[in-house]
Structure 1
Amino acid sequence: MKKSILSALAVIFSYTTFAQSKCGVVFQDSLNQTINQRWLQQKSSFEYQVQQYTNALKASRTTAYSTIRIPVVVHVIHNTASKTIGGTNNINISDEQILSQIQTLNEDYRRKEGTAGFNTNPIGADMQIEFFLADSIATGETTKGITRHYSSKVGFDIIKELSTITAFSKWNPYKYLNIYVVKSGITSTPVTIGYSGFPFDAYLPGLIPNSDETAEQQLFDGVVIDYRYFGKCCGTISTTYNMGRTTTHEVGHWLGLLHPTGDVRCGTDYCDDTPTIESLNAGFTCNKMTSTCDGVTVTNQIENYMDYSPDVCMSLFTNDQKIRTRAALELSYRRKSLVNNSTIVSESNSLQVSVDPNPVKSSANIKIQFSGTENITIQLISENGNTLNEYNYQNVTSNYFLINTSSYANGMYFLRVNTSKETKVLRMFILK
């Protein structure tokens, strides 16, 4: 997803033309389009939903957002037989290097003053998204959010071998952002230095995952970064992409952001405050670039994290990019589940149930609060009193619960929530 040397148009036609692309998204997107028409339809459907949602947010003039915290697990896949950690040319990078990357993500996504992630641009946005290494797993076991795995392979094709990479380790993507650090390719100059799954990879609209999730729905979800472009210290780091912005860029894709060109000349990223441009900054400087599309000349926003600029040039996410990420986090079932799971929901002495937003579309986000641990039953009931579906959860605490509403017609429904002591019923509307 970051820093492509070839144009997207050339990539569409043949893998053999994909000589040196530092961003894997363009190629993978093109490949999916050529081999999977259904994937393309799902992508278009998701994009339509995102546009509807962002337009509604802009019309409402909503400016207050809660800060979202994303738990991260970093999987280091290395070929260091001694398992020595850190040092020059060692793929088994140090904890310090990993922590420097988490620090960069937080500086960039929070637009932190006094750091390289700060800018004074009037359209610059504090994305209000924070990242932290996961400190526990579902069993309650403590962890530092880093796993290490030996492989005799010299390097990986991070487009063709995603399934091989994730086979080493994958934490539940409904709860964690998985970031994989590997060596890309087998030469000193990697073909691709970063790749990320998009929200519409993780959730194909109308096919909300469940216990029998199909192979097609289990597309790669996470971020892969070459070890030489991860973090900003401590090991062997690129001289051009040396501030951790490759990961900032790839996580932007994971959150639904596109390249400013939309991967075609004078294309769109659906953000009004990023200019329409001819091409991205595939060079090695921060020199001014201009573009002329439809007879209008503009200055390229080379400081945008979603461009291909050297890391030192980058310092900007825009307000429209912020709105777009909020739409993706709301509309992607897997992203929404991850946000829910990382949000602390306070207890209540009595059973409290709410749905926000209401009306709902493809999924209902139900906030349920009670005291202690309970067995919860959620029933979806039609207007005439028929039970349409029932969901059971054992030994859970106060939390958000997602249920699939994509197959139900528009109209009014009832939600009945039962604990061992109480029952609550509320109206819910479906409006697609």
Structure 2
Amino acid sequence: MEVHERLMRTVPAYRENQTAIENLTRNYLLRGVLRTEVVKIPVVVHVVYNTPEQNISDGQIKSQIRILNEDYRKLNADVSSVPSVFQSLIADTRIEFALACRDPGGGSTNGIIRKSTTATGFGSDDTVKFSVSGGSDAWPRDRYLNIWVCNLADGLLGYAQFPGGPADTDGVVIAYTALGDTGTAVPPFNKGRTATHEVGHWLNLRHIWGDDCPGANQCSGSDLVDDTPNQECMNYGCPPFPHSSCDNGTNGDMFMDYMDYTDDACMVMFTNGQSARMDAAITGPRSTIMSSDGLKCPPSGGSCGQGSITAMAFILTLYGIGKVRKKSIKTK
């Protein structure tokens, strides 16, 4: 919750702006008319490295894009491990991702920016997102999903900013040891699920336990999604099924959901309710991404994903919050 607390302190209009986004989301869901077309999101990956090992390969980056597409389209092979009682809730979100082939100036790109830095590590303070602090400046958030890959300190696996946040810090940050399923990715976070989780936050998903842990009344928090069972706190590792908390019935926690904190091998699904909430983000605060030209390659740029979709007009000055996924540090 470090990013959330920081923005609570530094952004005066934070509460009002989040209320505006939640009102928009609620009204969208009440209409009950969900998006049916597939949306393809242009991605730019900023590799900020201090050592040769941290300068990860194109192949490792492409493995992460493949994993995002599998996870968001319900094409991951391990989705079959979801208990039968939850199988009907598994969602194909109809969201896909591709490395950008057009840069903000209209030139060709492979969607990967490499930046050498003197910084030995970064935290959740967004310094990796600015060249003046040893990072790499964001590409326009209305046209690209920015993903920064770097050496994150203190066991941090990744963090993200919710829709509506400041434009120059919009996107997600992933540790170079937790990206993709090859190269420098280290078990048990070597199946690319940290990025799946953090991009979920970028599309306005909350943690499945409702972020009321630790503290009193830990069963009162909500992720604002109806088909995810309430649970006491985050789960770590790979719990056995069923694993119950908060008197949440015989089926217990949905610990295999991407928005929990389990190991990569044990998080394998989004729910229909989470997909609908992401729909609201795609057609609301993230709507401009659907008309991006980031996947329209310049004539000399080769082939890449096509298919721009007309976006709904959505112009709000909003500021969001980020969420942090860390390694398995037991706090309960």
User: Structure 2 length as normaliser, TM-score?
Assistant: 0.80
Query: Which residue number in structure 2 is paired with residue 174 of structure 1?
Result: 142
* Counterpart among 335, 339, 360 of residue 290 in structure 2: 339
Q: Is the 2:137–2:168 Cα contact (8 Å) retained in structure 1?
A: no
Q: Is the 1:291–1:298 Cα contact (8 Å) retained in structure 2?
A: no
Tell me which structure has the larger Cα radius of gyration: 1
Query: Which residue number in structure 2 is paired with residue 328 of structure 1?
Result: 281
3-state SS of the aligned residue for 1:317?
coil
Query: Which residue number in structure 2 is paired with residue 272 of structure 1?
Result: 226
For 2:173 and 2:139, the matched residues in 1 are separated by: 14
* Counterpart among 256, 266, 272 of residue 313 in structure 1: 266
For 1:406 and 1:153, the matched residues in 2 are separated by: 35
Residues 167-206 of structure 1 mapped to structure 2, 5 A cutoff = 168-185=136-153, 190-201=154-165
Q: Kindly provide the amino acid, as one letter, of the partner of residue 106 in structure 1.
A: N
1:48 matches 2:48: no
1:68 matches 2:39: yes
C-alpha displacement at 1:262, in angstroms?
A: 1.7
* Counterpart among 137, 156, 164 of residue 103 in structure 2: 137
C-alpha displacement at 1:331, in angstroms?
A: 1.6
Q: Is the 1:124–1:316 Cα contact (8 Å) retained in structure 2?
A: yes
Higher relative contact order, chain-length normalized (CA < 8 Å, sep 6+)? 2
Query: Which residue number in structure 2 is paired with residue 127 of structure 1?
Result: 93
3-state SS of the aligned residue for 1:122?
helix
3-state SS of the aligned residue for 1:229?
coil
C-alpha displacement at 1:144, in angstroms?
A: 1.1
Q: Is the 2:69–2:95 Cα contact (8 Å) retained in structure 1?
A: yes
Q: Kindly provide the amino acid, as one letter, of the partner of residue 72 in structure 2.
A: Y
Q: Is the 2:129–2:136 Cα contact (8 Å) retained in structure 1?
A: no
* Counterpart among 245, 250, 272 of residue 193 in structure 2: 245
Unaligned residue ranges in structure 2 (runs of 5+): 213-217, 297-307, 318-332
For 1:260 and 1:248, the matched residues in 2 are separated by: 14
C-alpha displacement at 1:160, in angstroms?
A: 5.2
1:50-103 deviations in Å (ceiling 9; x for gaps): 11211222xx5x5x61000001011100013xxx5xxxxx10001111111111
Distance of aligned partners of 1:176 and 1:405 in 2 relative to their CA distance in 1, 3 Å threshold: closer
For 1:98 and 1:184, the matched residues in 2 are separated by: 17
Q: Kindly provide the amino acid, as one letter, of the partner of residue 141 in structure 1.
A: G
3-state SS of the aligned residue for 2:130?
helix
C-alpha displacement at 1:163, in angstroms?
A: 4.4
Query: Which residue number in structure 2 is paired with residue 234 of structure 1?
Result: 183
Q: Is the 1:198–1:253 Cα contact (8 Å) retained in structure 2?
A: yes
Distance of aligned partners of 1:229 and 1:140 in 2 relative to their CA distance in 1, 3 Å threshold: same
For 2:261 and 2:73, the matched residues in 1 are separated by: 21
For 1:173 and 1:326, the matched residues in 2 are separated by: 18
Q: Kindly provide the amino acid, as one letter, of the partner of residue 67 in structure 1.
A: V
Q: Kindly provide the amino acid, as one letter, of the partner of residue 116 in structure 1.
A: D
Query: Which residue number in structure 2 is paired with residue 96 of structure 1?
Result: 59
Query: Which residue number in structure 1 is paired with residue 78 of structure 2?
Result: 116
Distance of aligned partners of 1:310 and 1:405 in 2 relative to their CA distance in 1, 3 Å threshold: closer
Unaligned residue ranges in structure 1 (runs of 5+): 1-25, 85-89, 202-216, 346-397, 408-432
Q: Is the 2:203–2:282 Cα contact (8 Å) retained in structure 1?
A: yes
For 1:45 and 1:51, the matched residues in 2 are separated by: 10
C-alpha displacement at 1:142, in angstroms?
A: 1.9
Aligned length: 293
3-state SS of the aligned residue for 2:140?
coil
Residues 250-399 of structure 1 mapped to structure 2, 5 A cutoff = 250-264=198-212, 265-266=218-219, 267-281=221-235, 283-288=236-241, 289-292=243-246, 299-332=252-285, 335-342=286-293
Percentage identity across aligned positions? Answer: 34
Q: Kindly provide the amino acid, as one letter, of the partner of residue 48 in structure 1.
A: N
Q: Kindly provide the amino acid, as one letter, of the partner of residue 183 in structure 1.
A: N
Distance of aligned partners of 1:47 and 1:140 in 2 relative to their CA distance in 1, 3 Å threshold: same
Query: Which residue number in structure 1 is paired with residue 11 of structure 2?
Result: 36
Q: Kindly provide the amino acid, as one letter, of the partner of residue 78 in structure 2.
A: A
Q: Kindly provide the amino acid, as one letter, of the partner of residue 272 in structure 1.
A: D
Structure with greater strand percent:
1
* Counterpart among 39, 48, 68 of residue 77 in structure 1: 48
Distance of aligned partners of 1:199 and 1:142 in 2 relative to their CA distance in 1, 3 Å threshold: same
Distance of aligned partners of 1:105 and 1:91 in 2 relative to their CA distance in 1, 3 Å threshold: same
C-alpha displacement at 1:402, in angstroms?
A: 6.5
Q: Kindly provide the amino acid, as one letter, of the partner of residue 176 in structure 1.
A: Y
C-alpha displacement at 1:339, in angstroms?
A: 1.2
Query: Which residue number in structure 2 is paired with residue 381 of structure 1?
Result: none
1:10-53 deviations in Å (ceiling 9; x for gaps): xxxxxxxxxxxxxxxx2211332244341122112211221121
1:263-301 deviations in Å (ceiling 9; x for gaps): 0122111111100111110x22232321125x8675000
Structure 1 window deviating more from structure 2 (138-147 vs 317-326): it is: 138-147
Q: Is the 2:44–2:99 Cα contact (8 Å) retained in structure 1?
A: yes
For 1:403 and 1:317, the matched residues in 2 are separated by: 27
For 1:231 and 1:404, the matched residues in 2 are separated by: 33
For 1:297 and 1:278, the matched residues in 2 are separated by: 15
